[in-house]
Chain A
Amino acid sequence: MEKIALSRRQILAGGAAAAVVATERPASAHSIKGEVPWAPSQADAPHAIDPGGYIFFTPQEAALIEAAVARLIPADDLGPGAKELGVPTFLDRQLAGEYGRAERWYMLGPWRQGSDNQGYQSRLTPAQLYRYAIKQLDAHVSSIKDGRRFANLATEDQDALLSDLEAGKVDLGGVSGKAFFDLLLQNTIEGFFADPIYGGNRNMEAWRMIGFPGARYDYRDFVAKHGERFPLPPVGLQGRPAWSSKG
């Protein structure tokens, strides 16, 4: 039988010093040996958005988005809606960033139309899709509503248009109206319920509305309290008002 030489080198006894070192060869590899690395003050911390006005949307685009998200999740007697809770700002920052640029998406061709089961196959990034679809949607509205824009329609008309988009009845210049609607709805729900550091869910109002206690990490004291209402208010990644209270 063929033999291979598996060397069983003796393991060096004694405490070789622990360290993360870049070996000399290959110089560029990250070689980790000796212990689990750790250093003080290291944290892969999240990046909160910069406050302020829109940086992606033009005023005209923003008007449509604000109007649309206000219909997707409206303000009502249950509480504020997507617009009031900052979802347009959330969308703006998402589209201006890594997500808008589809940085983690596979965006190489060839490009082909696929089946629904094959998922997203457009060559447009989310940012490009929003920009294009918003323009097309306003053009579509203008053509059927005497030159008006989506934002200026009565809410019933806006709802009707959104329903048509959802049902796949509107083509947006070669882009599926349903594809845009699905993405907008998904992103709107994301913004409504995401941590407030991303611009939506202001003051954790959406969490409070449904009863989600937020970025907590310990429910041990409450696991056995079946059927009872959880007593603590929501907390976000940046805390809650009580974190800065006196007394």
Chain B
Amino acid sequence: MARKLPSIDVALVGFGWTAAMLAQEFTDAGLNVLALERGVWRDTPTDFAPTFIQDELRYYFRHELFQEASRETLTFRNNGGETALPMRHLGSFLPATGVGGAGIHWNGQTWRFLPTDFVAKSHNEQRYGKLAEGMTVQDWGVTYDELEPYYDRFEYLCGISGKAGNLNGTKQPGGNPFEGPRKRDFPNPPMDMTYAPMLFAKAAQETGHAPFPCPSANMSRAYTNPLGVQLGPCTYCGFCEKYACGNYSKASPQTTILPVLMRKPNFELRTQCEVLKVNLDNTGKKATGITYVDAQGEEWEQPADLVILCAFALHNVRLMLLSGLGQPYDPETNTGVVGRNYAYQITSAVDVFFDDKLTNTFIGAGSLGMGIDEYNGDNFDHTGLGFIGGGYIALWTTNGRPIETHPVPEGTPKWGSKWKKAVVDNYLKQCSISTHGAVMSHRGNYLDLDPFYRDVHGRPLVRMTFDFTDNEHRMSDYLTDRAAEIARAMQPREIKVSRRKGSYSIVPYQTTHNTGGAIMGDDPKTSAVNRYLQSWQAHNVFVMGACAFPQNPGYNPTGTVGALTYWAADAIRNQYLKSPGPLVQA
């Protein structure tokens, strides 16, 4: 039986990016804020220090900074006809645990979605007619123009390095000409480019594209953000994603917010406290607080006036399902909202091998690269292509960590002397172009609770039913073909094209861009939260994160997660606190 604690103004579930941002906002507004994090405290000098963090085995291959599947995982199947089985160890994506969440071990690729991405259904239907059968793409209920100031705030919080391509509607040479208009340039200039992205940019230009430096949360110089928090310059060590930064040069909650937030007397963080459910009153229309279990296994009831779900997308959805917060989605009847429109990302790669060029890709950073955006969103005419959406094509030099990154040419055996020779011959003379494609939502792709498998607390695991559809494969193939054309224009000895073929597999790492399941929208019948990320069912519950994405556009999600968080925070501070209740009438 849970013991009851004194009430708090705001309880934040999870303590990664969105919770840290909201805690900063709400404590500024004078509220008493409590964050509950299931993992441990972690910080740069003690847990990510450059005396030991550059350890490929420990951090990537033995998952030390990630969620422990032994405590909580999910079950997976490609379709409703299969029995979902547990993901017994991490693979395709890498959810975090601990303070800072995945915000400590991301690459830092920080994009804005396109204006048309937010009206994907209405825009595509207007231009191309009715969407394909089973496609459940929706408009977001919020527009790019509405989010622009909040994108800006997140970019300045993080100190994003980049080059504007569209300032107030005027195209800027050297930037991304396809991006939505921004009010001002990035807070920091682009990073110093390594060799391979420059080779890509040259080839992209020669083939008629407009390459630009990709926006990066790795600091191109020392930076002080609007909160007064400082970051150091990136050293191009090549240990970003899957690692945490050892020298304060990658934006994370720790490096952008916590130094200020932790000093505030009206903020408290409790670590190793896992929230089991959101408690609702007897009407079900208001949350009374949350129940959590601490490291000793004791349960506590924490009453709160406001409850904000700030955990990873999959965990927020699971907590809603476990708490009865919103009607679970049913794919048979296409009704219900929680679990609806789960989506992901579809990626492919073209490896490029040179005889005469030392690319030295061990000099890298998580978001160091040149990209093109001609084939993203609706930046190109899809007539006759058989798909909607798109993605960016980029040449990143994120790393040369050799267990993970030792590309070999087509036809090389996977072991033996020939493999060894291919690795030795090519390690310093290769690079890889990636495509990063959208995944449209589909009626059969969703999340619910698994009927068999349970976590350490005995609660059902979340069940993922997901596969790529024809739309994704056609789109990804199209992107991959374009990438291969640019790769050939780089005049290498040879290339290797790795398409994403067949059904989705949860085994090989792809991206940690799990989206949907608690999507935002204008209609409570087809969305779990309104345009301010407020639960349609319980007005004092808000749900942050990429679970709000109605479908997943062709960019990395964190920039938009950040913008939506500030957007929701403003609505809560300026509207909800003055007059608590639904911010949108159903």
Contact = CB atoms under 8 A, between A and B. Distances in A.
Is chain B in direct contact with chain A in the complex (CB below 8 A)?
A: yes
Interface of A: 1-12, 16, 18, 23, 25-26, 28-39, 42-46, 71-74, 76, 78-79, 81, 98-99, 102-108, 110, 112, 114-121, 159, 162, 166, 185, 188-190, 193-195, 198, 206-207, 209-213, 215-220, 222-224, 226-230, 237
3 cross-chain pairs, A with B, having the tightest CB-CB distances, nearest first: A226-B195, A194-B57, A210-B427
Contacts of B363: 219, 222-223, 230
B30 A220 contact: no
A26 B402 contact: no
A223 B89 contact: no
27 contacts: A2-B580, A6-B31, A8-B9, A8-B31, A10-B30, A26-B298, A28-B294, A29-B294, A32-B268, A33-B267, A34-B265, A36-B262, A106-B73, A116-B507, A119-B87, A119-B506, A120-B88, A166-B414, A193-B403, A207-B402, A209-B424, A212-B401, A216-B54, A218-B237, A222-B360, A223-B194, A237-B54
A35 B262 contact: yes
Given A107-B88, A120-B89, A220 B70 contact: no
B89 A104 contact: yes
Contact of B29 (A8, A72, A189): A8
Interface stretch (B78-86, B126-134, B476-484): B78-86
Most chain A CB atoms below 10 A, which of B56, B236, B577: B236
Contacts of A38: 43, 45-46
Nearest to A229: B358
B298 to A, nearest CB: 6
Interface stretch (B58-66, B165-173, B441-449, B522-530): B58-66
Contacts of B73: 106
Given A104-B68, A117-B506, 5 more contacts: A2-B580, A107-B88, A211-B428, A217-B50, A226-B198
Contacts, number: 276
Contact of A118 (B76, B264, B419): B76
Q: Is the interface of B mostly helix, strand, loop or mixed?
A: loop
A112 B453 CA distance: 12
A105 B87 CA distance: 9
Most chain B CB atoms below 10 A, which of A3, A32, A115, A211: A32
Given A106-B89, A112-B83, A12 B272 contact: no
Contacts of A220: 233, 235-236
A219 B237 contact: yes
B41 A30 contact: yes
Contacts of A213: 362
Contacts of B306: 6
A36 B259 contact: yes
Given A8-B30, A46-B52, A210-B406, A28 B295 contact: yes
Nearest to B363: A219
Nearest to B58: A46
Interface residues of B, number: 111
B289 to A, nearest CB: 12
Contacts of A35: 262-263
A193 to B, nearest CB: 4
A110 to B, nearest CB: 6
B357 to A, nearest CB: 6
A105 B427 CA distance: 32
A32 B428 contact: no
Contacts of B258: 36
A31 B269 contact: yes
A34 B305 contact: no
Contacts of B68: 104
Contacts of B271: 29-30, 32
A110 B452 CA distance: 8
Contacts of B264: 11
Contact of A73 (B43, B195, B300, B420): B420
B82 A115 contact: yes
A237 B88 contact: no
Contacts of A5: 305
B220 to A, nearest CB: 11
B247 interface: yes
A76 B73 CA distance: 43
Contacts of A188: 415
A7 B33 CA distance: 11
B313 to A, nearest CB: 19
A37 B235 CA distance: 25
A28 to B, nearest CB: 4
Contacts of B31: 6, 8
A19 to B, nearest CB: 11
B247 A217 contact: yes
Contacts of A207: 402
Contact of B32 (A9, A26, A32): A9
Contact of A216 (B63, B237, B296): B237
A106 B580 contact: no
B586 interface: no
Contact of A219 (B62, B235, B453, B505): B235
A72 B237 CA distance: 30
Given A3-B580, A8-B29, A190 B295 contact: no
A216 B306 CA distance: 46
Interface in B227-279: 233, 235-239, 246-247, 258-259, 262-273
Contacts of A11: 27, 30, 264-266
Contacts of B268: 23, 31-33
Contacts of A217: 50, 54, 235, 237, 239, 246-247
B580 A4 contact: yes
B76 to A, nearest CB: 6
Contacts of B194: 223, 226
A150 B56 CA distance: 31
Nearest to A117: B505
B282 interface: no
A213 B54 CA distance: 12
Contact of B420 (A34, A74, A219): A74
Contacts of B3: 26
A122 B295 CA distance: 30
A1 B403 contact: no
B416 A71 contact: yes
Given A26-B5, A210-B402, A34 B78 contact: no
